[in-house]
Structure 1
Amino acid sequence: MSVDVEGKSLVDLLDMLEPAPVPEPISMIPQTWGWGVLALILAGLIILGVYAFLRHRQLNAYRREALVELAASDNDAAKIAEILRRTALVAYPRRKVAALHGKEWTNFLNQTSDNVTFTDGAGRQLVEAPYRDAKADPDLEILARNWIRSHKRERTA
């Protein structure tokens, strides 16, 4: 196929050119099985992460509720003692918590949290709180808040 190009202008020569073929669109589907496997693993990890987050949130709902009640307790020692007792009953078996009182109760609170000490200072008010009408030491509310946030929940099967 010989085309006579002699004597033709540049515009005529450009008009004679055939347009380049349009390439086929690139598929967004992975071409190899490895990418598919990677996508499945990534989707599985995302689902597992969302499940773990929702489970953690559900298991700690009692803590959030106790903190809200503690904020509304108006620094009343009897209410604080009741909130701590109810929180402990949710986090630990009833047979382990229900019978505790006095020194045993404050020792239990100490053992179940690393950074809170109820046996001295404001924590001693918990033993006498149900029998008094006086306002609690402001440190008692702080101790209670720290215990609610940091106690170790007993694992159940």
Structure 2
Amino acid sequence: MQTNNPLLEQLKDIQLPDPIGWWPLAFSWWILLFSIVAIIAGAIWYYLDLRRRNIYRRSALKQIDAILLKADSGDTHKISEINAILKRVAVTAYGRSSTAALYDQAWLDFLSATASYIPQPENLLEILKLAYQPEHADSTEPNPIQLSSVQAVEIWQDYAKKWIKGHHQ
């Protein structure tokens, strides 16, 4: 549309300003970035600290696996070795004064108290006592539990692994 007014023809189109850029960032963006970096750094620090504090657990689990792979030791010897590893873990976590003197039912009560949500298998005390019997006992003596020594080792190592993974301080 043509206008006859010469003044209107001299007008120019509206010029928009340049769009606002991202840089420099507003103060609130700096706070948000700092918060995100702090949260990520804190999570990484927590993860690394947790791994450092649980080295003894990973080491004990590897030792139990190594014991189970040994074919030259008897089943009762495996139970006593796993018990020794459990005792070392308990000494590491709770101190020598509260754990070193424990044995038999007191030892099992301690294990139950420090990981109360992990149910103890039946006949655990009898399984533990198998470790201190001769490997080839006379067949005239009655077996106090109705488990084979292989089953007893499996039950003991399963409970030991669960306790190592889940005991709390």
- In the superposition, the TM-score normalised over structure 2's length comes to 0.67
Look up the match of 1:100.
102
Code of the residue aligned with 2:87 in structure 1: it is R
Look up the match of 2:157.
141
Quick check: 2:64–2:157 contact (8 Å CA) kept in 1?
Answer: yes
Q: Which runs of 4+ in 1 moved over 3 A?
A: 23-29, 130-136
The whole-number CA distance in structure 2 between the counterparts of 1:61 and 1:29 is 46
Specify whether residues 133 and 29 from structure 1 end up closer, same or farther in structure 2 by C-alpha distance, changes over 3 A only.
Answer: farther
Look up the match of 1:126.
128
The whole-number CA distance in structure 1 between the counterparts of 2:88 and 2:135 is 20
**Identity %, equivalent residues:** 26
Look up the match of 1:47.
41
- In the superposition, the TM-score normalised over structure 1's length comes to 0.72
User: Root-mean-square deviation (CA), in Å?
Assistant: 2.4
Cα displacement string for residues 50-103 of structure 1 (whole angstroms, at most 9, x for unaligned residues)? 111111111111111111011111261111111100111111121110111111
User: Runs of 5+ in structure 2 lacking a partner?
Assistant: 1-17, 69-74, 137-148
Task: Kindly indicate whether structure 1 or structure 2 has the higher relative contact order, using CA contacts under 8 Å at least 6 residues apart.
Answer: 2
Look up the match of 1:117.
120
Code of the residue aligned with 1:139 in structure 2: it is I
Q: CA deviation at 1:124?
A: 3.2
User: Runs of 5+ in structure 1 lacking a partner?
Assistant: 1-22
Q: Does 1:87 align with 2:117?
A: no
The whole-number CA distance in structure 2 between the counterparts of 1:140 and 1:87 is 15
